[in-house]
Amino acid sequence: MSDTPLLKVEDLTVRFAVKRGGGFGQKHYLYAVDNISFEVKKGETLAIVGESGSGKTTAALAVARLVAAYQGRVDLGGQDILQLAGEDLRQMRRRVQFIFQDPYSSLNPRQRAEDVVREPLLSLTKTPAAEQQAIVDDLFAHVGLRPEQKRLFPHQFSGGQRQRIGIARALSTQPELIICDEPVSALDVAVQAQILNLLRRLQAEYGLTYLFISHDLGVVQHMCDSIAVMYMGKIVEHADRLSLFNNPLHPYTAALLSAVPTVDKTLRQKSRRILIPGDPPDPVNLPKGCRFANRCPVAQARCREEAPELKQVAEEHRIACHLVDESAQSPL
């Protein structure tokens, strides 16, 4: 691992125009990602977590240039990839690869497994055909697939095996950054553990850097070095793994962690389930204060009037909450 950030995201914003009412009135925008910043160190894993609609997947897609960013900067190895176009953008795609959530729909059903893995080499590199085959053979072995399975079609594999094909495809161009978008959420629990262990082993072997998108904090706890928690397009807490799980400061983070099941009876007795009442605010008509205030059990008047800034309260621990100061004590 390195202290040098491979990926540095600054003030990233993604917005989508939405229709409200009829006629030719004022345009309305949904800010799916609203001015977020984070770093991922080389060889490490950063998780972005949050419930559905928090903006975590949209942020990952914007980093990979799969959706357009409205503003911000995404530095990969010191190069702002949001400014790239044409051949420069194509070369960048070799360096950033994606493992998608659904192994059933992310593979071309008309391609054999070896052709799926070879496809990025054909479209993004000038690797000779003989070398391509050697790379495909090696990747099949590394992800735990048998040589005779190369000629099979995706429908002839199980869900876990399909995800292994997706992982091999992502590795084919020797990327610097791999974005894992809920890579195990569509799999059985037993298969999830196999895929997570595979991702950790490949990270150690190839020196990979992961941006890991998930809603499952139980999975994140065993995969990631640091965690950013998102709510309604904003990062509300960002910390290293131990700090976040041992001392969650934001009420939203604490509520998410209280819902993580555990087989440890002692931990179950110590933990207190924190319920989040109500619904998230309208994403097109957001409140002027904290976006979590209408659901927060400890919200005060200031929370509803003034939006909190993401501030540092401890080493590698940042939080956006008016009720947390430099003492780093939870308001709950």
Q: Where are the domains of the chain?
A: 5-9+37-231, 234-240+248-332
255's tokens: 């509520």
Please report which helix (H) or strand (E) contains residue 72, including its range.
strand 71-76
Q: What is the rounded average pLDDT of the residues 286-304?
A: 93
CA dihedral of residues 99, 100, 104, 105 (deg, nearest 10)? -120
Confidence of residue 278 (pLDDT cuts 50, 70, 90): confident
Give me the pLDDT at residue 237, please: 97
Residue 151 makes CB contacts below 8 A (sequence gap 6+) with 112, 113, 114
Give me the pLDDT at residue 329, please: 84
Q: What is the CA radius of gyration of the chain?
A: 21
More confident residue, 269 or 154: 154
Give me the pLDDT at residue 276, please: 84
Give me the pLDDT at residue 265, please: 58
In the block, tokens 């000038």 appear at 126
Confidence of residue 269 (pLDDT cuts 50, 70, 90): low
Taking the C-alpha atoms of residue 136 and residue 145, their distance in angstroms, rounded to an integer, is 11
Least confident of 15-24, 56-65, 163-172, 279-288: 15-24
Using an 8 Å Cβ cutoff, are 45 and 99 in contact? no
pTM of the model: 0.92
pLDDT at residue 61 is higher than 80 = yes
Question: Degrees (nearest 5) of the Cα angle 255, 44, 60?
Answer: 65
pLDDT averaged over the chain?
A: 91
pLDDT at residue 39 is higher than 80 = yes
Using an 8 Å Cβ cutoff, are 35 and 28 in contact? no
What is the domain class of 5-9+37-231 according to CATH? Answer: alpha beta
Q: What is the rounded average pLDDT of the residues 164-174?
A: 96
Give the residue from 271, 210, 276 showing the smallest Cα distance to 54: 276
Give me the pLDDT at residue 103, please: 82
Q: What is the rounded average pLDDT of the residues 225-241?
A: 96
Confidence of residue 111 (pLDDT cuts 50, 70, 90): very high
Give the residue from 258, 206, 238, 198 showing the smallest Cα distance to 222: 198
Taking the C-alpha atoms of residue 150 and residue 132, their distance in angstroms, rounded to an integer, is 13
In the block, tokens 């953008």 appear at 89
Give me the pLDDT at residue 25, please: 63
| Percent of the chain residues past pLDDT 90, beyond the cut | 76
Q: What is the rounded average pLDDT of the residues 35-52?
A: 95
**DSSP secondary structure code for residue 280 in this structure:** P
Q: At 154, is the secondary structure helix, strand, or coil?
A: helix
Q: What is the rounded average pLDDT of the residues 170-187?
A: 94
Taking the C-alpha atoms of residue 274 and residue 267, their distance in angstroms, rounded to an integer, is 15
Residue 161 makes CB contacts below 8 A (sequence gap 6+) with 145, 149
